[in-house]
Chains A and B, each alone.
Chain A
Amino acid sequence: MKNAVTVKEQLTSGTNRRSFLKISGLTMAATGLLLTGCNNDDDSSNNGPYAPGVRNGKFDLGSGDLGVLTYAYALEQLEADFYTRVVNLNNFGALFNSEEQQVLSDLYAHEVIHREFFKVALTGALSNPSTQLLPALEFDFTTVNFSSRSSILGTAKALEDTGVAAYNGAGKLITSTEYLLLAGKIVSVEARHASAIRSLINPNSNDFAGDDVVSASSGLDVAKNPSQILPVAGGFITTEFTATYLP
Chain B
Amino acid sequence: MNLFKFIESFTDDNLMNSTGSRRDSFGQFGQLGKNLALASIPLGLAAFTNKAFASDIGPTPSTPIGALQLALTLEYLEDEFYRLGLESGVIPTGGRDEKVFMQIAKHEASHVEFLIAGLGASAVTKPTFDFTVGGAFDPFNATGIGTTAAYQQFLVLAQAFEDTGVRAYKGQAGNLISTPDLLTAALQIHSVEARHASEVRRLRGLKGWITGNDRGLGMPSATQAVYDGEENVTQAGFNTSTVNNGSLGPAIPGAAGSESYDEPLTTQQSVTIANLFIV
- Residues on A close to B: CB < 8 A? 84, 87-88, 102-103, 105-106, 108-114, 116-117, 120-121, 124, 164, 167-169, 171-172, 174-175, 177-178, 180-182, 184-196, 199, 203-206, 208-210, 214-223
Contact = CB atoms under 8 A, between A and B. Distances in A.
Interface in B75-129: 95-96, 99-100, 102-104, 106-111, 114
8 contacts: A113-B243, A124-B236, A172-B183, A177-B174, A188-B170, A191-B191, A195-B202, A220-B188
A169 B183 CA distance: 10
Contact of B195 (A169, A181, A209, A223): A209
Contacts of A199: 198-199, 202, 208
A189 B190 CA distance: 11
Interface of B: 20-22, 25-26, 95-96, 99-100, 102-104, 106-111, 114, 166, 169-170, 173-174, 177, 180-181, 183-185, 187-199, 202, 207-209, 235-238, 240, 243, 245, 248-250, 252-253, 256-257, 259-264
Nearest to A174: B177
A218 B110 contact: yes
A78 to B, nearest CB: 15
A192 B243 contact: no
Contact of B264 (A175, A185, A204, A209): A185
B112 to A, nearest CB: 9
B78 to A, nearest CB: 11
Contact of B170 (A84, A105, A181, A222): A181
A211 B193 CA distance: 14
A185 B262 contact: yes
B95 A204 contact: yes
A171 B261 contact: no
Given A174-B177, A184-B170, A185-B235, 4 more contacts: A124-B236, A180-B173, A188-B191, A208-B100
Contacts of A116: 238, 243
A120 B114 CA distance: 39
A124 B173 CA distance: 24
Given A219-B110, A222-B188, A172 B260 contact: no
Contacts of A184: 169-170, 173, 187, 190, 262, 264
A230 B237 CA distance: 29
A185 B96 contact: no
Contacts of A168: 184, 187-188, 191
B187 A209 contact: no
Contacts of A181: 170, 173-174, 264
Contact of A217 (B21, B195, B199): B21
User: Looking at chain A's contact residues, is the secondary structure mostly helix, strand, loop, or mixed?
Assistant: helix
Q: Which 6 A-B pairs have the closest CB atoms?
A: A219-B110, A191-B194, A109-B256, A206-B103, A172-B180, A195-B198
B252 A112 contact: yes
Contact of B196 (A106, A164, A209, A218): A209
B21 A188 contact: no
A186 B25 contact: no
A145 to B, nearest CB: 20
Nearest to B261: A185
B26 A218 contact: yes
B189 A220 contact: yes
B183 A171 contact: yes
Contacts of B199: 195-196, 199, 208-209
Nearest to A84: B249
Contacts of B195: 191-192, 194-195, 208-209, 214, 221
A185 B263 contact: yes
Contact of B194 (A88, A109, A178, A189): A189
A186 B187 CA distance: 12
Contacts of B183: 171-172, 180
Contacts of A191: 190-192, 194-195, 198
A190 B209 CA distance: 10
Contacts of A109: 252-253, 256, 259-260
B253 A220 contact: no
